Amino acid sequence: MPTGPLRHVAPPNPDPIFHHVKAGMSVIIKNTDETWHMADVIQVIGSAKCPKVPLFFQVTYVDNHVTNWVKADLVTHIVPRL
């Protein structure tokens, strides 16, 4: 049995969901006005310092077929393939 004070070890923070998004996936994007869209990811752009970490996604919205760039942190869910 340990004799010193007990230490609490926090579990590591999980990666944000957008770190796992790749071109060809479908995602849910939640806008700042609390509306959301389902979109297909066309292209992933990383930052200059760390190109493997997504910064922007080029997406095509499923409902109206508009293609747009969105900030990566607006992605809240990855839609699973059936």
* Residue 69 pLDDT: 97
Over range 32-37, report the average pLDDT: 92
Assessment of whether the complete model's pTM goes beyond 0.85: no
Tell me which of 58 and 47 has the higher pLDDT. Answer: 58
Over range 5-17, report the average pLDDT: 73
Over range 20-33, report the average pLDDT: 95
Tell whether the model's pLDDT for residue 3 goes beyond 70: no
Tell whether the model's pLDDT for residue 48 goes beyond 60: yes
> Which pair of tokens denotes residue 56?
């922007």
What span, in angstroms and rounded, lies between the C-alpha atoms of 13 and 43? Answer: 27
